[in-house]
């Protein structure tokens, strides 16, 4: 399951994560974000044991968007040890999203 988090929850999760964190930076008005959400939900069920899946609404959490220089969405970022190690911009079909996640596990 993909959990919707705010700035405080995001920071706490990254600090304490013992597995990769896959974060979907999105906005409710974003069409491609709406298309990507069910893809990530499916993948979170497949890879939930190996990674933590979260989503951040950039309109509600502008501090995080600024912190990571997010200018376009959807942006899926991978964090390990509290640091961003990879990112993918734009909609990805499930096969592409799966490859992106697998290379970052």
Asked if residues 52 and 20 have their Cβ atoms less than 8 Å apart, the reply is yes
Asked if residues 52 and 95 have their Cβ atoms less than 8 Å apart, the reply is no
- CATH number for 3-103 (one of 3.40.50.2300, 3.90.1300.10, 3.40.50.12500, 3.40.30.10): it is 3.40.30.10
Asked if residues 85 and 68 have their Cβ atoms less than 8 Å apart, the reply is no
Asked if residues 25 and 68 have their Cβ atoms less than 8 Å apart, the reply is yes
Domain ranges of the chain: 3-103
How many CB atoms within 10 Å of residue 70?
18
> Helix, strand, or coil here: 88?
strand
Q: What local confidence, expressed as pLDDT, does residue 1 receive?
A: 92
Q: What local confidence, expressed as pLDDT, does residue 11 receive?
A: 96
Q: In which residue ranges of the chain is pLDDT below 70?
A: none
Q: Which residues are catalytic?
A: 30, 33
């Amino acid at each position: 399951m993909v959990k919707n988090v705010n700035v405080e929850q995001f920071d706490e999760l990254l600090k304490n994560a013992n597995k990769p964190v896959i974060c979907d930076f999105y906005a409710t008005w974003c069409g491609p974000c709406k298309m990507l959400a069910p893809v990530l939900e499916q993948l979170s069920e497949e890879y939930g044991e190996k990674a933590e899946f979260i989503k951040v609404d950039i309109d509600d959490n502008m501090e995080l968007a600024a912190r990571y220089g997010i200018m376009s969405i959807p942006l899926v970022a991978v964090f390990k040890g509290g640091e961003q190690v990879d990112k993918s911009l734009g909609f990805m079909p499930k096969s592409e999203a799966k490859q992106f996640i697998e290379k970052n596990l």
